[in-house]
Amino acid sequence: MSPLAHGAAASTDVVGAQGDTPQDAAPHPSDLVVLLDEEGRPTGTAPRTRVHTRETPLHLAFSLYVVDTDGRLLLTRRATGKTAWPGVWTNSCCGHPRPGEPVQAAVRRRTAEELGLEVGGLDVVLPDFRYRAVDASGVVENEICPVHLTVVPVGTEPRPDPAEVAEHAWLDWSDVRRTAEACARAARAGARAEEPTAPTTPHAAQAGAEALAAVEELLRLRLDRLAGEWRRGPGPEPLVGDADPVLGEQGLPGILAELVLGAGKRFRPLMCHWGWLAAGGTESGADPTVPVRIGAALELLHAFGLAQDDVMDGSTTRRGRPATHVSASDCHRAAGGRDDALRYGASVAVLVGDLAHMEADAIVAELAQPVRHLWWRTSVELVRGQVLDLSEAAAGGGANAEARAWAVARAKSGGYTIQRPLELGAVAAGAGSEVLDALGEYGAHLGEAFALRDDLLGVWGDPELTGKPAHDDLRAGKATVLLAWAEQEATGRAADLVARIRNQQHEDGDVEEAAQIMESTGVRERAEEQVRRSHASALAALEEPALHPAGVAGLRQVADSVCWRTR
């Protein structure tokens, strides 16, 4: 045990301050940290506001975990204006003893300043703890940091300083442990992807699967927390009669959980994971939990799009099950609802989407500003794609139908499914322009392939695999690139039939015939050929030397799975 750690454990030693340099003499002692040598002995002081850089010297700190008498742990999220680790969830409180200040006195002082809590007994549970970590901006933490524990009565609520703490939460220890295990899996997935392998070996697929497992676990934790918050009233007591009279015990959060945790493809978090690795995330010192958090937010954003898209398209199924608005309408009828069941179902689906988007934004709000800005752009593009899709269905066709259909496909499918998730992961890893340009080109080509494959499956997909009826896009008169091509190629009676599909004036028998027309006029083969060309162009973009091989291996496999998928 170092002399310093022993002093912290005994809570009797006082840290001295010697050897101040002239440039460090001016700051007030309250704004100085204690520098240490490798043995944990004080060597001098440095200004707190200037000590944390990319070459932070070893210094003294402390960490505090506040637990209530029910065993719940108080976690805090650092204010987004903080220089180091902005917006990151962390322990209850941390800080630095001042020169000459006993460590436990510093713990009590800082807890009162930061959280508005007066703490009593302190136990030193890790007197020798030392760590070094690097945040997303490159700022280094390099500390000997005795870890303390204090217990407070149930119902104790902090009054945090907003300049220090953005928000706080009391979590059961089991939830904290599950979160830590999910983050550890994400880090292992990144390390596994770094193993030297051939580009198509199973390592990349296994690393991707481990990353998705971490995203899945985080989604479960967030949705569990959301369900608990949903049942709370404005005060400390739960809401009275919190079971929804129509939706039952599951309520809106339960419907959202079904949608998010169902059998989805999880392309978006996978693209984020490989973008992070391709940008060298494991070597840059970037936080490996960030792509996991972005991945969870992307799945929630996707749930937002699905719930509201099904209402707008009038789709009755999703992933082989009733769509959200259909399921809610069924609940309304089963409960003997007095008003319009269809309107109720559509309203519930809109609210499910709203709840998903709010939770996604809450996750991203914890991340660095460049990620938050790109997230905002992604959300805007998705909504823009939705409204373009609606407008195209209402007044589509004409000379520019293909260009408009491509605009919808790129914004609504390719952009937020492939390109933006890829770039979000890269930005989180601190990617430079060469990496971002190469990934942007890869993402644009693969995004087009993804959108075209979606269109192909919407006409010729196997309902057992897609979870949607055969020819569903034609039945809905969806304004796809395929429909625009069919309008260009069809003549005579076939052109009249395609026009009826476009104007949603068709009969059931027209749908099968329209699919046959698309095949006979070469539309289907044209789309397949375009997918092949986009696939080749996407792979060519991965030849950029600045891309990390681990990420390239994963992106090659993803390109195959995107272009040749069956659902």
Ranges 84-98, 141-155, 275-289, most confident: 141-155
Structural Rg of the chain based on CA atoms = 28
Whether pLDDT at 17 is above 50: no
Query: Rounded mean pLDDT of 89-113?
Result: 93
Residue range 422-462, pLDDT digits in tens: 999 999 999 999 999 999 999 999 989 988 998 899 888 88
Instruction: List residues bridging with 226 in a β-sheet.
Output: none
- In whole angstroms, give the CA distance from residue 127 to residue 402: 67
Whether pLDDT at 23 is above 50: no
399, exposed or middle or buried, with CB in 10 Å at 0-12, 13-18, 19+? exposed
Cβ-based neighbours of 465, under 8 Å, separated by 6 or more: 566, 567
Helix (H, G, I), strand (E, B) or coil at 288: coil
For 475, other C-beta atoms within 10 Å of its C-beta total 22
Instruction: Tokens for 71, please give them.
Output: 């065993």
Instruction: List residues bridging with 148 in a β-sheet.
Output: 64, 124
- In whole angstroms, give the CA distance from residue 327 to residue 323: 6
Cβ atoms of 354 and 441 closer than 8 Å = no
Residue range 240-258, pLDDT digits in tens: 556 788 888 888 999 999 9
Query: Rounded mean pLDDT of 255-282?
Result: 88
Instruction: Tokens for 304, please give them.
Output: 């937002």
Residue range 401-425, pLDDT digits in tens: 888 888 888 877 778 889 999 999 9
pLDDT, residue 239, reads: 55
Please provide residue 147's backbone torsions phi and psi, each rounded to the nearest 5 degrees: -100, 125
pLDDT, residue 344, reads: 93
DSSP string, 40-108: S-EEEEEEHHHH-STTPPPEE-EEEEEEETTSEEEEEEE-TT-SSSTT-EE-SEEE-PPTT--HHHHHH
pLDDT, residue 29, reads: 62
DSSP β-ladder status, 93-95 and 89-90: unpaired
Instruction: Tokens for 224, please give them.
Output: 């569990």
Residue range 326-345, pLDDT digits in tens: 988 888 999 898 889 999 99
pLDDT, residue 10, reads: 32
Q: Is the pTM of this model over 0.85?
A: no
- In whole angstroms, give the CA distance from residue 428 to residue 276: 7
Closest Cα to residue 378, out of 427, 425, 412?
412
Whether pLDDT at 262 is above 80: no
User: To which H or E segment does residue 134 belong?
Assistant: strand 130-134
Closest Cα to residue 509, out of 484, 475, 460?
475
Instruction: Tokens for 466, please give them.
Output: 């897609």
Please provide residue 17's backbone torsions phi and psi, each rounded to the nearest 5 degrees: -135, 115
Query: Rounded mean pLDDT of 316-326?
Result: 82
261, exposed or middle or buried, with CB in 10 Å at 0-12, 13-18, 19+? middle
CA angle 243/247/250 to nearest 5° reads 65
Instruction: Tokens for 452, please give them.
Output: 């075209």
Instruction: List residues bridging with 123 in a β-sheet.
Output: 149
E strands present in 244-398:
317-318, 321-322
Residue range 470-509, pLDDT digits in tens: 787 788 777 888 988 988 998 999 888 888 888 878 887 7
pLDDT, residue 443, reads: 92
Whether pLDDT at 8 is above 70: no
Exposure string for 188-197, b = 16+ CB within 10 A, e = fewer: ebbebbbeeb
Query: Rounded mean pLDDT of 87-96?
Result: 88
Give the model's confidence band at 201: pLDDT under 50 very low, under 70 low, under 90 confident, else very high.
Answer: very low
- CA torsion angle for 177, 179, 182, 187 (degrees, to 10)? -100
More confident residue, 192 or 10: 192
Residue range 36-84, pLDDT digits in tens: 999 899 999 998 878 888 889 999 999 999 999 988 899 998 887 777 7
Whether pLDDT at 25 is above 80: no
Cβ atoms of 17 and 34 closer than 8 Å = yes
Distance of CA 241 to the CA centre of its chain: 33
Instruction: Tokens for 73, please give them.
Output: 């742990």
Instruction: Tokens for 519, please give them.
Output: 């095949």
Residue range 215-233, pLDDT digits in tens: 988 899 899 888 888 877 6
DSSP β-ladder status, 59-60 and 62-68: unpaired
Instruction: Tokens for 289, please give them.
Output: 């939990």
Whether pLDDT at 521 is above 70: yes
Closest Cα to residue 412, out of 367, 458, 346?
458
Helix (H, G, I), strand (E, B) or coil at 488: helix
Cβ-based neighbours of 315, under 8 Å, separated by 6 or more: 309, 323, 468, 472, 476
Instruction: Tokens for 129, please give them.
Output: 């703890």
Whether pLDDT at 175 is above 80: no
Calculate the average pLDDT of the chain.
83
pLDDT, residue 322, reads: 86
Residue range 338-366, pLDDT digits in tens: 889 999 999 999 999 999 999 999 999 98
pLDDT, residue 346, reads: 92
362: left (phi > 0), else alpha (psi -120 to 50), else beta?
A: alpha
